[in-house]
Structures are given as C-alpha cells and as structure tokens.
Amino acid sequence: MAILDKFSLEGKIALVTGASYGIGFAIATAYAEAGATIVFNDIKQELVDKGIAAYEEKGIKAHGYVCDVTDEEQVNELIAKIEKEVGVIDILVNNAGISHINLLSDMTDEDWNHIIQTNLSSVFYCCRQAIPPMVSKRSGKIINISSMWGLSGASCEVAYSASKSGINGFTKALAKELAPSNVQVNAIACGVIDTSMNDQLTPEERKALEDEIPAGRYGTPKEIAQMVWNIVHAPEYMTGQIIGVDGGFL
Ligand code: NAP
C-alpha cells in the first residue's frame, strides 16, 4: 500500500468555524478540493447564505449553519445538527475570531468578555462537543487558528494576545490529553494576514507594519490554508505544536 493512501480527505467531514470568508473560507476550500465534506458556521443567516454562494462559485457544496460560537447552547445544537444531518466531524478547525485594538485601560468588562468568549471559550465549547466521537473512533484532528501575538504579545491588543496565548496553552494541554486516543491537536500562530480583520488600519499603518515583516508583505489566507492542509496530512505523531506562519516576524 502506498504510504500516501491514508491522506485522502474523501469521506472526511471538516467543520471550519467562521468560514464565510477570510482565512476560514480559504481553509475550507482547500479541504473541499482534497475531497472533504465542508461544514461551516457564521453568526448571521445572511453571511451563511453569502458563504454558501461563494463556495458554490468554486463548485463546492458546503453545509452552512447559523451559530454564534460564543454561545455554548448554540454550539451544542450546531454539533448535534451536523452529526444528524451531515455526519460525525473528523476535522475541527477553530477559526472564528475577532480582534480589538485599544488601550487596556480603556477596555470595558464587556469588551474583554466578548474577546475571550469569541476567541477562547468558543474553542472550548466546540472541542468539548466534537471530541467524544473522535475518541470513540480513535481518529481526529483539531486545528486552532492562533496568532503570533499569542506568543509575543501586541501593544494595544492585550485581550486579543491573551486569548491567543490561551489557545496555545489549550492546544498543548489538550494534545497531551488526546494523544492516547490518537486525536491530534495543533495550532497555527498566524502573522499578519490580508483579510478584513486588518481593514481598520490606515494605509500608513499598513505600510509601517509591512516594513516590520521580514518577508516585506502580509501573508495570504491561501498560505494559512496550505499550512492547515499540511497539518491534516502531517504524521499522527505530530501533536501539541504551535506552528508559526508569519513571514519571519518572530
Ligand atoms: P475575518 O475575515 O474577520 O473572519 C473571521 C470570521 O469569524 C468571520 O466570518 C466572522 O463572522 C467569524 N466570527 C466572528 N465572531 C464569530 C462568532 N461569535 N460566531 C461565529 N463566527 C464568528 O478574520 P480572519 O482574518 O479570517 O480571521 C480568522 C482567524 O484568524 C481568527 O481567529 C483570527 O484571530 C486569526 N488571525 C488572523 C490574523 C490576520 O491578520 N487576519 C492574524 C492572526 C490570527 P462575522 O463577520 O459575522 O463576525
């Protein structure tokens, strides 16, 4: 048997959270092109519909659901619905996330809780529901979309940095917990990636940031998708890793 036989994603089901556009959309597209069935969610029906149409344009039939990942009950319902209507999740990509740029001293409790709920608690909610069938099958991949700011910290992004540091610790700990069950948990520490998340930067701020990146440019969602694709195809012995894709920034 060729050693690459087992790497086909035919028959696999991948849930990519927050994948109507941006990095999540690129990740889901790469998995679909490799034969996986794609499931994604977004907060509003309008965005889910737009996402489904965008996948259709690429010849992909994606299953889209409305779900706010900050809401534990909605996540539980989402995973139950996916299992009933599509099947058991083989690959979970925790991608949904938000940024927030502000001085820490100007942040409200609401701001703080919203970021931690969206970027970190959501990962807990999704993993908790998706893990039991993976453990029963002794097979599964969890990939968390983190940030280089979770490793180095970013000024005026304390909550964001803390949430992504939390994801890194979560990834390493969960990888140890699930390794005996043959479920791998890894994370990508993205550098600055060209998506709407960075739209609030002025052209001057964008240029200044680009000048700080050794590669001299922002990364693309496709490059993150390539790495996520590689992680799924990596040896099962690779788990608990925080992999940097940042143009040499860190
Ligand atoms: P994006 O274009 O803003 O996409 C984020 C996606 O998450 C959107 O579809 C968004 O939907 C969804 N989302 C946000 N809150 C949600 C919630 N409560 N429930 C469900 N979906 C929700 O950003 P992106 O750049 O692709 O970011 C994707 C991931 O990469 C995030 O985790 C981000 O932290 C990480 N990352 C990005 C960069 C970067 O430079 N772009 C760098 C490092 C890490 P709505 O539009 O409805 O909010």
Q: What is the pLDDT of residue 131?
A: 98
65 tagged catalytic: no
Q: How far apart are CA 34 and CA 47, in angstroms?
A: 24
For the chain, list residues with pLDDT below 70: 1-7
C-alpha distance across the termini of the chain, in Å: 40
Q: In what order do the strands lie in the sheet with 183-190?
A: 63-66, 37-42, 13-17, 91-94, 140-147, 183-190, 242-245
In three state form, how does the secondary structure of 71-128 look? CHHHHHHHHHHHHHHCCCCCEEEECCCCCCCCCHHHCCHHHHHHHHHHHHHHHHHHHH
Type of residue numbered 241: Q
Please tell me the predicted confidence (pLDDT) of residue 8: 77
| Residue range 40-64, pLDDT digits in tens | 999 999 999 999 999 999 999 999 9
pLDDT for position 3:
55
Question: Would the CB of 182 count as within 6 Å of ligand 1?
Answer: no
120 lines ligand 1 (CB under 6 A): no
User: pTM here?
Assistant: 0.97
